[in-house]
Amino acid sequence: MAAFQSVVLCVLAVLFSLAAILNPTSAQLSSHTFYKKKCPRALEVIKSVVKGAIAKEPRMGASLLRLHFHDCFVNGCDGSILLDDTANFTGEKTALPNFNSVRGFEVVDQIKDAVNEKCGSNVVSCADILAVAARDSVEILGGRLFSYKVPLGRKDARTASRNDANTNLPPPFFNFSQLLSNFQSHGLDLKDLVALSGGHSIGIARCITFRGRLYNETNINPRFAASLKKGCPVSGGDNNRAPLDATPKGFDTVYFKALMESKGLLHSDQQLFKGDGSQSDKLVRQYSKNPHSFAKDFGASMIKMGNMKPLTGAEGEIRLNCRKVNV
């Protein structure tokens, strides 16, 4: 099974290289005060639910951040990742990068219900909920330093595509040039790549995503690799998990320090630092030493990513239930 999945992953890499995303430009979102008149306490309610979910399970912060990332990288930040399959389309939840991986849908449901109740009507989109919940997660786990103002006004998509998710999300085995090409195809740049990868400061990963790095790569700390092999054997244990850095419950700069010690968990992580003095190396060093610099660039890159091809104005809809389109 592991061998089959590896073949599938390689096929997806080829498909991605052939996929051309011709228009990464974005529409213009509104201010972070977009809901001030429609529902002045909307953001307060979102943060309250996120805070409760993280208190119950700290890992949920990483899950909510990842949902926003995986939503935006597939046809823009439109809440399409939340849609269940229908007779008309197969959604993104069962795409290879998402299956048995993305989570937090129940928390999004809770947020939607709480916001609709507080607002007295259906005015806050699911896409905006994802963007705000991602920001709240890093602020709760990293402190006020990591807070930033989220532009709002996204509408929700009426469809989703598993195929698009398979070809647009960067897999953990991508090398540096593939990662950069992926980000550039979405209108992002090198700084965005390194800063947003800092999202791996929180959360965990499955053995199947880093097994190849443990057993086939040399640019990995031997003791680090040996400790991970105990829970990630050559075969079996695909769903065994390991933290993405040494502080998976805290949003900080430990991730970047680990890369400088050849302790990146994923192949794609370690690709950001090779010790060759590249611009990527310089950013990793900068962020490892300066939390304020990382926080500033991370917030800017999150805002930039969150503005990738959103549906606004007459486009899309505001779903009543984030899992299905309105009737």
Tell me, what amino acid is at 268? S
For residue 204, being part of any structural domain is answered with: yes
Q: Please say whether the beta carbons of 266 and 220 come within 8 A.
A: no
- Interior CA angle at 66 toward 80 and 44, to 5°? 85
Binding residues for Ca(2+) are: 71, 74, 76, 78, 80, 92, 245, 247, 252
Q: Write down which residue in 110, 136, 169 finishes a domain.
A: 169
Residue pLDDT, tens place only, 213-243? 999 999 999 999 999 999 999 999 999 999 9
Counting Cα atoms < 13 Å in the Cβ hemisphere of 313 gives 4
Catalytic residues: 70
Report the C-alpha gap between 203 and 248 in whole angstroms. Answer: 5
For residue 249, being part of any structural domain is answered with: yes
Is 185 in the same domain as 125? Answer: no
Residue pLDDT, tens place only, 259-297? 999 999 999 999 999 999 999 999 999 999 999 999 999
Is 121 in the same domain as 190? Answer: no
Is 187 in the same domain as 298? Answer: yes
For residue 324, being part of any structural domain is answered with: no
For residue 128, being part of any structural domain is answered with: yes
Is 159 in the same domain as 181? Answer: no
24-33, 108-117, 156-165, 316-325: the lowest-pLDDT one: 24-33
pLDDT of residue 26: 52
Q: What is the CATH number of the domain that holds 139?
A: 1.10.520.10
Is 70 in the same domain as 150? Answer: yes
For residue 8, being part of any structural domain is answered with: no
Domain count, the chain: 2
- To the nearest 10 degrees (0 to 180), the angle between helices 222-229 and 207-216 is 130
Q: What dihedral angle (degrees, nearest 10) is formed by the CA atoms of 204, 253, 265, 11?
A: 80
Is 295 in the same domain as 189? Answer: yes
Is 156 in the same domain as 57? Answer: yes
Q: Write down which residue in 142, 169, 196 finishes a domain.
A: 169
Q: Where does residue 277 fall: left (phi above 0), alpha (psi -120 to 50 degrees), or beta otherwise?
A: left
How much is the mean pLDDT over the chain?
93
Q: Write down which residue in 137, 169, 201 finishes a domain.
A: 169
Domain residues for the domain of 206 are 176-306
pLDDT of residue 27: 64
Is 242 in the same domain as 165? Answer: no
For residue 18, being part of any structural domain is answered with: no
For residue 24, being part of any structural domain is answered with: no
Comparing 29 with 205, which gets the higher pLDDT? 205
For residue 23, being part of any structural domain is answered with: no
Is 48 in the same domain as 165? Answer: yes
Binding residues are: 71, 74, 76, 78, 80, 92, 170, 200, 245, 247, 252
Binding residues for heme b are: 200
Identify the CA nearest to 74 among candidates 152, 7, 170. Answer: 170
Residue pLDDT, tens place only, 63-99? 999 999 999 999 999 999 999 999 999 999 999 999 9
The pTM (predicted TM-score) of the whole model is 0.91
Is 191 in the same domain as 286? Answer: yes
Ordered DSSP codes for 98-158: TTTT---HHHHHHHHHHHHHHHSSS-S-HHHHHHHHHHHHHHHHH-GGG-----B--BB-S
Is 212 in the same domain as 272? Answer: yes
Q: Please say whether the beta carbons of 136 and 295 come within 8 A.
A: no
Give the position of tokens 């805290």: 250
Is 68 in the same domain as 121? Answer: yes
